[in-house]
Amino acid sequence: MKKDHESKVEAGADKGRAAELHKATIDGAEVVLLNSLPTGPARAERAKVVQAETLMDDDTLDALRRYQSFFESADVDVSEALTALPHAIALRALKLRLETATAIVQRRLADTVEPIATVSSEVHRLVVAAPEHSKMRAAFGLMEKRWQETYKGGRPGKVASAETIAKADATDKTDTSPKPA
């Protein structure tokens, strides 16, 4: 009977941890926190953020509070850090939640755009095959510009390839004279 109760308690705790791990969206309090943040440039260097993260857990925060008088006796004022730590911990938690949410969105976006990318490739193929000054080419001018910026170094167009061949022939300095046998 006691084992059944303990296993039920453990199963409930596991479900609670799993629910917390899989909580993907940010809640109302986190939205308020996010919207309350100033959008100006940051003042701290990244190295300071990494250094501060060594104190950003609940156990270390409790220890810092417990031994505050010890640090003060050594002329180390931890009161400013104690004031800022809960807010910093909340910001770090928000950052992790936003990164998780961003990763989920990226995965879903990749799945969603797959058919669009396939169509994009086919549309590009047909637009490139259209006559040079056609209405179709004009209609897809922005798409073609983005395509060319994205895929640099691809196969040159039909007109460019003829010009490239002519330039290559004009600048070719290889010896084409017959070789003695």
Average pLDDT (47-73) is 90
Contact 140, 127 (CB under 8 A): yes
Q: What is the model's pLDDT at position 39?
A: 80
Q: Specify the range with the lowest mean pLDDT, choosing from 12-16, 39-43, 98-102.
A: 12-16
Instruction: Tell me how crowded residue 84 is: count the other CB atoms within 10 A of its CB.
Output: 13
Give the up-direction half-sphere exposure of residue 99: CA atoms within 13 A in the CB hemisphere. 7
The DSSP string of 49-106 is HHHHGGG-SHHHHHHHHHTHHHHHHTT---HHHHHHHHHHHHHHHHHHHHHHHHHHHH
pTM for the whole thing? Answer: 0.53
Q: Is the pLDDT of residue 78 over 60?
A: yes
In which band, very low, low, confident or very high, does the pLDDT at 143 lie, cut at 50, 70 and 90? very high
CB of 127 closer than 8 Å to CB of 143: yes
Residue with tokens 């003042």: 43
Residue-level pLDDT at 19: 55
Domain-wise residue ranges, the chain: 1-33+44-113, 130-170
Per-residue model confidence (pLDDT) at position 37: 82
Q: Is the pLDDT of residue 158 over 90?
A: no
Average pLDDT estimate for 69-78 = 93
DSSP classification of residue 177? S
Contact 83, 109 (CB under 8 A): no
Residue 151 DSSP code: S
Confidence of residue 28 (pLDDT cuts 50, 70, 90): confident
Residues 34, 26 contacting (CB under 8 angstroms): yes
Q: Helix, strand, coil shares of the chain as percentages rounded to 5?
A: 75, 0, 25
Average pLDDT, the chain: 79
